[in-house]
Amino acid sequence: MSEPGRLHPLALMVGVGLMVGITLQPQWLTTPAGEADHVAALLMLHAMATGLVNGVGFRPRHSLPKLVLGRPVLWLSLLAGLARLASLHGLF
C-alpha cells in the first residue's frame, strides 16, 4: 500500500527524459573507448526509475522502498551519474 500522492512534474520530466534519451542514445552510457560503463548506467537508470515513481505520485509506506525510491535519492543518483559521465569524458 502507498500513501496518496500527487503528480510531481519535474521528477516525471526527469524520468521520461532519461528514458527517452537513453533509449535513443545508449552511447551516452559508454566510456570513450566505446565500452559500457556499468556504474554510470546503474546511476542513470536508477534516477530514471526513481523519477518515474516519484513523478506519478507513488509514495511507499515501508522504509526500504522509501529509502531506495525517495525524491532526494533521485537527485543524488542523477548528480552522481552525471558526475561519473563527466569524469569519464574529461569534462572535469
pLDDT of residue 92: 74
Average per-residue pLDDT for the chain: 92
**In this predicted model, what pLDDT tens digit does every residue of 12-21 receive, in sequence order?**
999 999 999 9
- What's the CA gap between 47 and 77, in Å, rounded? 5
pTM for the model: 0.89
Is there a contact between 55 and 5 (Cβ–Cβ < 8 Å)?
A: no
Q: Is the pLDDT of residue 27 over 60?
A: yes
Q: Is the pLDDT of residue 84 over 90?
A: yes
